[in-house]
Amino acid sequence: MLCDTISKLRIDVAILCEQYKNLAPPNTWLADADGQAAIWVQGGIPVQERPTRVYPYFSWARIGGIFFFSVYAPPRLTGIEFSALLANITEEARGKRPLVIAGDFNAWST
């Protein structure tokens, strides 16, 4: 259903969390180390930049000159782990503009 909606609405970039599976080629799919946050690029739009390493709980890419971050902070994270995640995102996002950060931070759980 999501695939159909993305296609029907002609969405170029989608930010996903807790996806039930990662899509295979020809889809451009950039997932975090845990497979819980992803950026899905449609329509053959090139990814201009991506991280050299895969991070847990977030993924990022520069697409069409915009930096997109997809984040999933599971509710099981301790306060210290959640703070470390935010610090990692902040460090990676530093100097990257324009910037979109979206996802599920499960803030009520931390």
* CATH number (domain holding residue 41): 3.60.10.10
Q: What is the pLDDT of residue 62?
A: 97
Residues spanned by the domain of 49: 2-109
Which residue in the block uniquely carries the two structure tokens 């847990």?
56
Under DSSP, the state recorded for 12 is: S
pTM for the structure as a whole: 0.88
pLDDT (tens place) for every residue of the chain, 110 residues total? 777 887 888 888 999 998 776 666 656 889 999 989 999 998 778 999 999 999 999 999 999 999 999 999 999 999 999 999 999 999 999 999 999 999 999 877 55
CA-CA distances (angstroms) from residue 68 to 60, 61, 80?
5, 5, 25
If one counts the domains in the chain, the total is 1
Query: What's the pLDDT score for residue 27?
Result: 63
